[in-house]
């Protein structure tokens, strides 16, 4: 039962990514064929190991400083 619920949450997450960011995880961007999510990697140590192996940064870039927003500027 837990496995089926986890699969449901992964599928729901894929639909949310498609709706919010226009990222389609259900169709191949090259050929348009169907794709299926077969795993979700959640362990931070494993994620770092995979990204490092691929030569990708394992840490998120630093946040940019907040910009000032003048809501009440004189016109």
The helix (run of H) or strand (run of E) holding residue 73 is none
Mean pLDDT of 7-16: 76
Determine the average pLDDT of the residues in 9-20: 78
pLDDT one-digit tens code per residue, 28-62: 889 989 888 777 788 999 999 999 999 999 998 89
pLDDT at 10: 74
Query: Which DSSP state fits 27?
Result: B
Q: Strand pairing partners for 34?
A: 27
- Checking if the pLDDT of 72 tops 90, the result is no
* pLDDT of the residue at 1: 54
| The model's pTM | 0.50
Q: Is 70 helix (H, G, I), strand (E, B) or coil?
A: coil
* Cα–Cα distance, 46 to 59 (Å, whole number): 13
Per the listing, tokens 């449901």 go with 8
């Amino acid at each position: 039962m837990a496995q089926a619920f986890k699969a449901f949450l992964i599928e729901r997450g894929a639909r949310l990514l498609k709706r919010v960011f226009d990222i389609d995880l259900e169709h191949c961007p090259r050929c348009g064929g169907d794709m299926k999510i077969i795993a979700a990697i959640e362990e931070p140590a494993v994620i770092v190991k995979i990204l490092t192996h691929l030569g990708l940064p394992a840490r998120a870039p630093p946040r940019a400083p907040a910009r000032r927003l003048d809501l009440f500027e004189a016109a």
